[in-house]
Amino acid sequence: MEKLKSMVPDRLKQIVADSNADDLHSTSSSLLHFLNKLSQFHQMIRDLTDLEASLCAKNKDAALEFKQKANKCYFNGDYDTALAFYTRALRIAPINADDMDKNLVATLYLNRASLFHKIGLLMECVRDCNRALQISPSYAKAWYRRGKANAALGIYKDAIHDLDVAKNVELSLGGKKQIENELKIIVDQYEGTRSVQHIENTVRNFNEPQQINLLCVTDPDKGRGMVSPCDIPQASLVHKEEPYALIILKSCRDTHCHYCLNELPKDTVPCISCSIPLYCSQHCQVQARGETISCYRTKDGVDDSLPNNLKEYIAEVTSCSDSDPDVECFPEHKHECLGVHWPAVLPSDVVLAGRILAKFISQKRGYMECNLLGTLNLSQSYLQISPEGKLELHIYAIVLLICLQHSFGTELPINGISLSQTIILVSQIRVNAMAVVRMKSTDFHCLPDQFGKFSNIGDALTCSVDQVPVGQAIYTAGSLFNHSCQPNIHAYFLSHTLFIRATEHVAAGHPLELSYGPQVGQWACEDRLNFLEDKYSFRCQCIGCSQLNLSDLVLKAFHCVNPNCNGVVLDHCLDNSELNKLKNFPGVPRMQVLDPFLKVDELKNVAHLALELTNNSFNVQSGSCLNCGSNCDLEASDKARRKALICMKRLQDAIVSKEISTTILSDASRALGVLRSILHGYNKHIAEAEDNLAQAFSLVGDFRSARDHCKASIKILEMLYGSDHIAVGHELIKLSTIQLSLGDPSAADTINRLGLIFLRYYGSHADFIFPYLQTLKREANNLTQEGRVT
Ligand SMILES: C[S@@+](CC[C@H](N)C(=O)[O-])C[C@H]1O[C@@H](n2cnc3c(N)ncnc32)[C@H](O)[C@@H]1O
């Protein structure tokens, strides 16, 4: 891309740089005309679309090689590597390639099933047997393996049927005899009445009704936005939507399902036509691709002479009723699996644009007649894009359309109209696409099982939860919600469904605004403004960025040098945003004492009242205390802060490597003392230092100190975010696990409190998204019971 950009003559670059949305027809045509003359451009297109050289074409020889390696590892007892090789082989094995006696894919599923059986993953084993049987219904070994796994699961009725079929379809006499012996043993064991189990991974249906019909209104500063015609109680579901189009992030291709974006199980299912996507189940495979593996059944049909009950059983096990009738089944990925690899190379917003275009064409609207942009009706900010960015957009649009033409031919013309629409579409995606996120709760292996205690308490503290982006999607109605750094709604995802919930009571007609990322309490105002301008090309006009609030004042502030004053001394970097906010206040202020023990709402009131009531004599500038006017030597304080933060960084590294020496710990404790003495009591650095020390003390087994530091960190977060904010909830998880480890009965209160916060943000889905909440509640309950007994 860089090379191509550099080859564009300056005159053409300038035309593109000066272009607005109405000129794109001619600028894109001129650029296409120029690029078409470049051999490098044609080489690049060939590389992106060449079937032979592509990364994602199926390859029988390579699959056989992986299969051999897998078999070798399996027999040597290296099961992890064997699993990885079987999965790689499955990913690239063409579905209709023969392998000795059966279809290669069916053989690979069976081999992987045997491996799962060996390592005790019985459900995975049965699911892989099902997949082998859907391709090859008379595959005796697959029936036999299924029967053994079902017997081990205690599903005897199915196990007997499985072995019965296996015996009937097995060709060799010796084999039949062996199966008959196994069957006898299982019949003896049979006591239950359980019948065919549908244990294919399925997507859970979250049917919480959405009761509110929102209205779209226009705001002079923010454009269109959403409001409710009626009051909305806290925690109500205000919006639910399936994506118009969605892609998985490149970093998650091997770890998350390419359709629902959930974490992949061990028995992943590959795409039938290409080697890129992995799915968590056949359900997702079908929804994404629109085909089932049973379309590729081998010709060796089921023996007609089998008894009817067995024929029915075979039909039941090998049927694919996986497609979800409630969800529109658009084969999202289909146009990408023709052996080309541009989707793996182009940036994700360009690939997402490709999916949207493909959806339009597949819906037979006829590209030329369709008003793609009008139908999506998304906002765009082409004018705000940098000259360099405009040139990139032009080139990407041209490359994307040429790549798509390999799948759609003349259905997708490449001309000024289609190019200008594609350029605007990508620019719309940049400001309207949502990052689909998942809660990362992998650390929770450290939580005790239902009978366990927090014996390894150091680990308990690693129970932190983070949001990780896994996909990018366009939600057409969802994109009408504006941003606020002090949001009143919260967005989250189950599978790829978007849910939006009110986190506070919202009055009728009041804007419903979510955070596009930054929030008050998390980042200083200036940083939030810069981020939103860089990423979404708008100057934030939310209440948090335009009106004074305590968090923004104190987040990066220094302590007043006067020991009797709790006033705020603003840092240099707050000059632009906070000083402007202060100066814009009518009747600039002498701020009253900011007592660190006041509640955050009271503090806000103090600040607001003080600003309105006092005279104009106050000198608002960085370095002088907003309360008493004393001057602070910012340079010296800044130097001391940097030194202390270097010590804290050492501690963080030690926490990651879990090697915490007493020197590092005592240096960090001293550094915290320095930070406390020079920074304002609610400065974010102190909260982070307290949190780091809590983790470190926990790792070395000093849980009392860990608890104190964790509580101190929570106290600051409450001031910065408000006491019911989800950021406080996440810190409460840590506190509760420390308290449980100490046998501290106040754990029950902490867990109740965090339960209420999670309910506010996730409603009825809280327990599903945070399954460990139940474990924590149970532990707290046990602790209370024990307390009563002793
Ligand atoms: C996802 S769209 C939201 C809907 C949009 N207002 C519309 O009319 O379609 C994002 C765009 O809305 C505007 N916007 C959203 N939040 C804003 C805010 N806090 N301040 C100013 N503009 C905002 C910006 O133009 C931004 O690029």
Stretch 407-415: mean pLDDT: 84
Number of H helices, E strands in the chain: 32, 15
Mutate to test the pocket of ligand 1, among 538, 540, 542, 545 (most ligand atoms within 8 A of CB): 538
pLDDT for position 556? 87
ipTM (interface predicted TM): 0.99
State in Å: Cα 430 to ligand 1 middle: 12
pLDDT for position 266? 95
| Spatial distance between the Cα atoms of 697 and 706, rounded to a whole number of angstroms | 5
Residue-wise pLDDT for 284-329, tens only, equals 888 887 666 666 666 666 677 788 888 888 888 887 655 555 556 6
Compute the C-alpha angle 109/114/120, nearest 5°.
120
Residue-wise pLDDT for 103-158, tens only, equals 899 999 999 999 999 999 999 999 999 999 988 888 999 999 999 999 999 888 89
Grade residue 790 by pLDDT with cuts at 50, 70 and 90: very low
For residue 467, what are the β-bridge partners?
A: 439
- Ligand 1 atom closest to Cα of 218? 8
- Ligand 1 atom closest to Cα of 219? 6
State in Å: Cα 103 to ligand 1 middle: 53
pLDDT for position 430? 92
Residue-wise pLDDT for 68-93, tens only, equals 999 999 999 999 999 999 999 999 99
Q: Is the pTM of this model over 0.95?
A: no
Report the pocket of ligand 1 as residue ranges, CB < 6 Å.
221-225, 379, 381, 431-432, 479-480, 482-484, 536, 538, 540-542
- Ligand 1 atom closest to Cα of 381? 27
pLDDT for position 366? 57
DSSP track, 443-487: GGGGS--TT----SHHHHTT---EEEEEEEEE-TTGGGPPB-SS-
pLDDT for position 324? 56
Greater confidence, 512 or 413? Answer: 512
The CA R_g of the chain, rounded to the nearest whole Å, is 31
Stretch 324-350: mean pLDDT: 74
Greater confidence, 54 or 526? Answer: 526
Residues 6+ apart with CB under 8 A from 265: 124, 201, 280
Q: What is the DSSP letter of 312?
A: H
Percent of the residues in the chain that have a pLDDT greater than 70, as a whole number: 82
pLDDT for position 57? 75
- Ligand 1 atom closest to Cα of 481? 3
Name the residue at shortest CA distance from atom 4 of ligand 1.
480
pLDDT for position 26? 93
State in Å: Cα 518 to ligand 1 middle: 14
State in Å: Cα 113 to ligand 1 middle: 51
State in Å: Cα 354 to ligand 1 middle: 24
Name the residue at shortest CA distance from atom 23 of ligand 1.
222
Grade residue 591 by pLDDT with cuts at 50, 70 and 90: very low
Residue-wise pLDDT for 673-693, tens only, equals 999 999 988 999 999 999 999
Mutate to test the pocket of ligand 1, among 215, 217, 222 (most ligand atoms within 8 A of CB): 222
Report yes or no: 143 and 109 within 8 Å, Cβ to Cβ. no
Mutate to test the pocket of ligand 1, among 221, 349, 472, 483 (most ligand atoms within 8 A of CB): 483
State in Å: Cα 540 to ligand 1 middle: 9
pLDDT for position 507? 94
Stretch 188-202: mean pLDDT: 57
- Checking if the pLDDT of 460 tops 60, the result is no
**Residue labelled with tokens 């290409």:** 274
pLDDT for position 710? 96
- Checking if the pLDDT of 371 tops 90, the result is no
Q: Buried b vs exposed e over 375-387: b needs ≥16 C-beta within 10 Å?
A: ebebebebeebee
DSSP track, 367-431: TTT--HHHHH-----GGGS-HHHHHHHHHHHHHHHHHHHHHHGGGS--SHHHHHHHHHHHHHHHH
Compute the C-alpha angle 68/314/149, nearest 5°.
55
Please report the beta strands in 43-119, taking only residues with DSSP state E, as ranges in sequence order.
98-99, 102-103
pLDDT for position 596? 40
Mutate to test the pocket of ligand 1, among 482, 486, 528, 534 (most ligand atoms within 8 A of CB): 482
Greater confidence, 600 or 583? Answer: 583
**Residue labelled with tokens 């008003």:** 371
Burial class (CB in 10 A: 0-12, 13-18, 19+), 33: exposed
Q: Buried b vs exposed e over 203-221: b needs ≥16 C-beta within 10 Å?
A: beeeeeeeebebeeeeeee
3-state SS, residue 366: coil
- Checking if the pLDDT of 645 tops 90, the result is yes
What average pLDDT is seen over the chain? 84
State in Å: Cα 480 to ligand 1 middle: 8
